[in-house]
Every structure is written in C-alpha cells, then in structure tokens.
C-alpha cells in the first residue's frame, strides 16, 4: 500500500511508503536464511513477528514498499556490505548487566587469576589477555576490567588487556562511550563504583561514566563470531567470556564456534559460558572446572 502526498514546493511530488504490515512466510524464510548465513543466528518461526516489527522502521527509512523489496535491496551487491550490518544491528538481541551471573566473577577473582599466576602464565612483563565475546552495551567487559583492576591494586607489576566484541555496531557505540544511567550501575559494589565510575554534572548528573583508566584497558571491535576471517585475532587469549550467546545458534554453528574458541585460547586458559549453557555434545576438548566454566588443558 502507498500513500502519496503532494506539495507545491518545486512542483515535485514526494511519495511516502507504508510497508505491508505482514511478512509472508516466503519472505521470512529468505530473511532467516540470509541472517543465518551471515552471522549464525538461527531464527525460529516463533521469531517472525519480532523480525517483522524490527524491519519495518528500516524499510520506512529507505522508502521501500515491501519486505520483498527490502530483501532485494539488502541482497544487492552494491548495498550488501553496509546494509547487512544495519540489518543485523536491528535483529540482534542485546541483554546484559553489570556483574551479571556474579558467580563467574567470584570464581575468576578467587580461583582463575591466582591459578594463572601460580602457573606462570600471568606475570610481570606479560599482560593477561581477556576476550568478552558478545559484549553488547559494554557492562560485561567493564565489569571484567574493574575486577582485574582491583586484583592488581596489590600487584602493580601485573597488567591486562581486554578485547570486547559484538556484531552490532549500535551497541558497540554505546559501549565505547561507557556512559550509563545510575540505575544501570546499581549492581556495582559501592567501593568499585566510587573508584571506577564518575558522576556527570548538570543535566548529566543522573548518569555515570567509566573512568578513562578503565576505558583505556578495553578495545571494542565488531566481530562476527560466524565468520572465520574475523577470528584472525593475532593475540591468543588467557580468558574468554562468551555468555548467553550460543543460545541463538544451532548445534552446527555452536560446534564450529567452540572449535575456534579452543584454538584462540592459550593452553591453561579459561572459558566462561552462560549458566544455562553447556558444552556437552558440542566440544569435549575443554575440561569442566566449575559451573559453566571450562579450562583448556596445557
């Protein structure tokens, strides 16, 4: 359906397009296949309503008339590289919190870090390398950075770097700024909040920003976990967090992903996945050491 409105300016006619409100099963299956091939996200038929709602605005922004026209647009060689990123931004789900699933952070502070030091992996002159894969709006990597900063307060010879990645450029933009409403920072312990977060002034007084010393420890980068070329990360990792991400992938994609994580992790390194996730039947090379926590054998 189209609604045409005319105006006299320059004697031109501007046409405003209203996309069809219902996506056909045919179009849904085409989009589902394209999204799966692009980033490994497996949309079930139950996600059709969600996909319809999320693509409508993009279709309106492009002044296209239907979901079919948008599929042609995003598939076009000329538009594909840029528009595919925009589409994935729209359809990807991003949910995170500071200190989410806190048992992992307690285990890392009390067990993982001392073990890496005792094993001679983390030592003076050799930075600890941590990857937060699927970092969303940044709460997880900032939590990791605060915990590591706390740990090295009494060991100033130790240092660390964090790679934080996501497929969505939209959430990475938020993460890079490191600015959050005060309500979002409630899970941060008061001592850490005082040390690592600074309050805004004036109209920004209800917002907190992560201090530069912590922000500078993190490199935010767009990485498609389903793209092997994106795993050409030169630095091998000591710790990888990939939590509540694989639930969006089918079994075949999960198997390939954890093969790549295994190769990216140094011997003796640790992998943390979501509490509701498991590597059972996906990768038996990792050794379980605690709930949803695994280790790569040395």
Active-site annotation, residues: 54, 166
Supply the DSSP symbol for 236. P
Strand ranges (DSSP E) for the chain?
Answer: 2-6, 13-17, 128-133, 160-166, 179-181, 197-199, 207-210, 218-222, 237-242, 265-273, 287-290, 293-295
Give the span between the Cα atoms of 123 and 158, in whole angstroms.
6
Beta bridge partners of 241: 132, 272
Give the span between the Cα atoms of 234 and 226, in whole angstroms.
18
Q: Which residue has the tokens 């209203």?
A: 18
Q: Which residue has the tokens 């996600």?
A: 47
């Amino acid at each position: 359906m189209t609604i045409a409105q005319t105006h006299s300016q320059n004697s031109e006619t501007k046409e405003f397009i209203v996309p069809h409100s219902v996506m056909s099963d045919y179009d849904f299956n085409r989009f589902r296949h394209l999204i799966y091939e692009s980033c490994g996200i497996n949309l079930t038929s139950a996600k059709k309503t969600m996909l319809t709602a999320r693509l409508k605005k993009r279709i309106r922004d492009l002044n296209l008339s239907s979901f079919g026209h948008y599929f042609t647009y995003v598939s076009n060689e000329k538009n594909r590289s840029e528009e595919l990123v925009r589409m994935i931004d729209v359809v990807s789900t991003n949910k995170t919190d500071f200190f989410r699933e806190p048992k992992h952070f307690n285990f890392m502070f009390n067990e993982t870090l001392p073990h890496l030091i005792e094993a001679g992996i983390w030592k003076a002159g050799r930075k600890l390398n941590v990857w937060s894969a699927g970092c969303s709006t940044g709460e997880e990597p900032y939590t990791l950075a605060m915990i590591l900063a706390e740990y090295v307060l009494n060991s100033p010879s130790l240092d660390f770097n964090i790679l934080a990645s996501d497929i969505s450029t939209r959430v990475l933009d938020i993460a890079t700024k490191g600015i959050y409403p005060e309500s979002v920072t409630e899970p941060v312990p008061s001592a850490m909040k005082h040390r690592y977060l600074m309050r805004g002034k004036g109209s920004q007084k209800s917002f907190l920003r992560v201090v530069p010393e912590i922000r500078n420890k993190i490199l935010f980068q767009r990485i498609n976990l389903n793209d092997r070329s994106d795993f050409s990360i030169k630095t091998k990792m000591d710790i990888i967090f990939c939590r509540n991400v694989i639930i969006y992938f089918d079994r075949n994609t999960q198997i390939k992903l954890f093969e790549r994580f295994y190769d990216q992790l140094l011997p003796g390194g640790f992998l943390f996945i979501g509490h509701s996730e498991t590597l059972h039947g996906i990768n038996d090379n990792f050794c379980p050491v605690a709930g949803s926590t695994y280790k790569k054998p040395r």
